[in-house]
Structures are given as C-alpha cells and as structure tokens.
Amino acid sequence: MRIRLARPGDLPLLQDIERAAGEPFRALGMDAVADDDPPPLDVLEEYREAGRARVAERDGRPVAYLVWDLVDGAAHVEQVSVHPDAARRGVGRALIEDLAAAAAARGVPALTLTTFADVPWNAPYYTRIGFRALPEAELTDGLRAIRRAEAAHGLDRWPRLCMRRPLR
C-alpha cells in the first residue's frame, strides 16, 4: 500500500469508495447514512487542488481516501473512507497517521474530527488510535459550526461527537 496525494483521475473512484464504505451502515439500521451521496467532484477537486486529499492505493488503484480542513488551528479530518474490500488492514489508520505526521511537521497542534458515537468503526475506533471525545465546553467555534451543519443534514438522528488527538 502507498499513500499519495489524490490525482484528478482518482476523484470518481473516491466517490465509489465512499458509496461502498457507506454500505456497512445498513446493518446498523442507518440506511440514510448508507444512501448519502458522496462529495461532488467539484468539492473533491477543491480538496485535491489545495493538497488536502490523500489516497491509499493498492496495486495502483485507490482503496481509501482522506480529506481534511484546517479548523481553528487543527487539522480536521473531514472524511476518511476505506473500501470494504480493504477494511481491517490498517489502511484508515495509515491515512490518519500520514496526516498526523504532515500536520505535526507544520506545527499543527492537533487532529480533530466528528463521528458517530456508537458505531464500532467510528468513535470506539478513533479512541483506540489516540483521539478523545470533547465535552461541549471544549468545542471550538469551528467545531460547533460543523456540528450545526451535520445536524441540518440529518446526522443527529444518531449520537455524534467531536474528537481531538494532540500532536505535540
């Protein structure tokens, strides 16, 4: 497996990865999550052009991706998705570690993300790799704005939370 910056030709494949990665949510009764559209190509292109879209590839083909934003001084994992065929092999963790190393080298103090609290491959997984749930009092304005947007999108039908992992 190799991690690299996304290329223009990868973007439709990233949408396919997102769709496939959503399917396991059906088993949890979260069909709306499984049916959610992947990011549009123009949004993925913005991440790619900004150097904030990374892919993990196997045999020359993307099997996972991560896009991120800078939110209140932290590198915020906007999305990390792994195709089910590549799941449980450390691919998602490798993408997160790649971002952590790059962010730390730039002096960024932390990674943040929002996630489902009770989905096994969400909050419990992120806790195992060094993230901690943030209480409401520790949320930054940017994280609050992200949570409001998620709620407007209907994601609050299931418990969600913000998490942070220090890099220093």
Which residues fall within 8 angstroms of residue 27, CB to CB, at 6 or more apart? Answer: none
Query: Beta strands of the chain (E only): which ranges?
Result: 2-5, 53-58, 61-71, 74-82, 110-116, 132-133, 160-166
Domain count, the chain: 1
- CATH code of the domain containing 35: 3.40.630.30
* Domain encompassing residue 112: 2-166
pLDDT tens-digit map of 67-118: 999 999 999 999 999 999 998 889 999 999 999 999 999 999 999 999 999 9
The pLDDT value given to residue 114: 97
The pLDDT value given to residue 87: 85
The pLDDT value given to residue 168: 78
